[in-house]
């Protein structure tokens, strides 16, 4: 009898966490490494949110909370959906989890049976297929292309749906590509989903507030209200509010699903940290003026990185509409020889040789299901980004 569960054989470690860890290890050994792997804003959590947490501690808000979240936070979540997304949810239709990851995992755990399929466009966030596999489902990948700005085409979605399809996993703006779907592009997808009433929609809106230029964010059930009874809309405070370590995600959806997820969570973590929940109440209800300021900084960083990468030999970098990632192609360097003498055969070879030669840590595109590309997080200072891009340009020029 094997000691470890068979489910572990279906799951790979997180590539993004692995890259960040390797960068930390090299730095500890004295290497000059610029880590561009982590999906984490470099801004500090706003002071009013930190103060709300301190006040909660001083009030003694340190006990167990209701599994689905404190009433004040669930009310704030419902108000957020109404205010920003034109979606009507009662507080009891919401749930709070320990980060967006737990929300997604609980939804899959509560609904997937062996053989159930989950459609996931590529490139995808590394955890989506692993969560599906852990919960007994089958990931079904549908490729996008750089020519289509990494956006799923309606005909491809329609073709992928089978009688076994349980969920369509949707993420806009996207991690890793930064692609964001306009209202019209979303309507084309929801028109397909309307035709398939057995398919549920799980939408990850974590980067909602990080879109650039004149782009206007929309979420699927806002575009097509008839999908209300089979959509779970997930979001959180990690990215827009610079609260990654506070670990608060939330969602709203049909009451039956929320109750099932509450039951899973009740046997799992019993709920998110009380202090972080009070901080999240302030985040959602308090001043929002710092969000556009941070967004403007991110937009400038995006433009810098895209410009410099497109000047690098063999790279092609589209301009993303949102999030804080770029997803350039390194196809022009496949088959070239790196300065170490190694032939670059894959995008994983490219990022490995880049780290070895120039000390720049990025994540290979095959980890996200689509290559030959790589992901850069530009959630760091312009000074570091400029230096990193200079090193990338130098590395690319040195490949023969």
Domain-wise residue ranges, the chain: 6-44+290-398, 62-285
**How many Cβ atoms from other residues are within 10 Å of residue 26's Cβ?**
17
Question: Does the pLDDT value for residue 19 go beyond 80?
Answer: no
Mean pLDDT in residue range 74-93:
98
**pLDDT tens, 133-174?**
999 999 999 999 999 999 999 999 999 999 999 999 999 999
- Going by pLDDT thresholds of 50, 70 and 90, the confidence category of residue 9 is confident
Q: Which two tokens stand for residue 81?
A: 């959906």
Residue range 62-285 in CATH 3.40.50.2300 = no
Of residues 9 and 125, more confidence is placed in: 125
Consecutive H or E run containing 250: strand 249-252
Contacts of 225 (CB under 8 A, 6+ apart): none
Question: Does the pLDDT value for residue 11 go beyond 90?
Answer: no
Beta-bridged to residue 376, according to DSSP, are 326
Q: How far apart are the C-alpha atoms of 284 and 299, rounded to whole Å?
A: 23
State the pLDDT at residue 5: 86
State the pLDDT at residue 236: 98
Q: Point out the least confidently predicted range of 28-32, 116-120, 241-245.
A: 28-32
The residue count of the chain comes to 400
State the pLDDT at residue 28: 85
Q: How far apart are the C-alpha atoms of 95 and 259, rounded to whole Å?
A: 9
Residue whose pair of structure tokens reads 């989506």 in the numeric block: 128
Query: SS3 for 318?
Result: coil
- The answer to whether 6-44+290-398 and 62-285 have equal CATH topology is no
pTM greater than 0.85 (yes/no): yes
Question: Does the pLDDT value for residue 22 go beyond 80?
Answer: no
Nearest CA to 160 among 199, 123, 126?
Answer: 199
User: Omega of the bond prior to 168 within 30 degrees of 0, cis?
Assistant: no
Report the CATH fold assignment for 6-44+290-398: 3.90.1150
**% of the chain exceeding 90 in pLDDT:** 92
Backbone angles phi and psi of 126, in degrees to 5: -55, -25
**pLDDT tens, 352-379?**
999 989 999 999 999 999 999 999 999 9
Burial code of 206-230, b = ≥16 C-beta within 10 A, e = fewer? bbbbbbbeeeebbbbbbbbeebbeb
């Amino acid at each position: 009898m094997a000691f470890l569960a068979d489910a572990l054989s279906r799951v790979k470690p997180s590539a993004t966490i692995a890259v960040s860890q390797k960068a930390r290890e090299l730095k500890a050994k004295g290497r000059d490494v610029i880590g561009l792997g982590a999906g984490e804003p470099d801004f500090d959590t706003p002071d009013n949110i930190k103060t709300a947490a301190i006040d909660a501690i001083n009030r003694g808000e340190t006990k167990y909370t209701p599994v689905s979240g404190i009433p004040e936070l669930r009310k704030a979540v419902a108000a957020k959906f109404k205010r920003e997304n034109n979606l009507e949810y009662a507080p009891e239709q919401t749930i709070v989890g320990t980060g967006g990851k737990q929300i997604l995992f609980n939804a899959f755990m509560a609904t997937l049976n062996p053989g159930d399929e989950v459609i996931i466009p590529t490139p995808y966030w590394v955890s989506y297929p692993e969560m599906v596999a852990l919960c007994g489902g089958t990931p079904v990948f549908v490729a996008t292309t750089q020519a289509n700005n990494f956006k799923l085409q309606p005909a491809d979605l329609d073709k992928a749906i089978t009688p076994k399809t349980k969920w369509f996993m949707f993420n806009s703006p996207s991690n890793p590509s930064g692609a964001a779907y306009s209202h019209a592009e979303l309507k084309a997808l929801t028109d397909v989903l309307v035709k398939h009433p057995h398919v549920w929609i799980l939408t990850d809106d974590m980067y909602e507030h990080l879109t650039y230029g004149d782009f206007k964010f929309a979420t699927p059930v806002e575009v097509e209200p008839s999908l209300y009874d089979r959509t779970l809309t997930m979001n959180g405070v990690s990215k827009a509010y610079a609260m990654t370590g506070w670990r608060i995600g939330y969602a709203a959806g049909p009451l039956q699903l929320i109750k099932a997820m509450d039951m899973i969570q009740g046997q799992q973590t019993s709920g998110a940290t009380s202090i972080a929940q009070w901080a999240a109440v302030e985040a959602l209800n308090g001043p929002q003026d710092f969000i556009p300021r941070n967004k403007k900084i991110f937009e400038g960083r995006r433009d810098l990185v895209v410009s410099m990468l497109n000047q690098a030999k063999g790279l092609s970098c589209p301009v993303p509409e949102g999030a804080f990632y770029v997803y350039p192609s390194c196809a022009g360097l496949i088959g070239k020889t790196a300065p170490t003498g190694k032939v670059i055969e894959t995008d994983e070879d490219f990022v490995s040789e880049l780290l070895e030669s120039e000390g720049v840590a990025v994540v290979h595109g095959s980890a996200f299901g689509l290559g030959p590309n790589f992901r850069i997080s530009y959630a760091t200072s312009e000074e570091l980004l400029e230096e990193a891009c200079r090193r990338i340009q130098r590395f690319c020029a040195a490949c023969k």
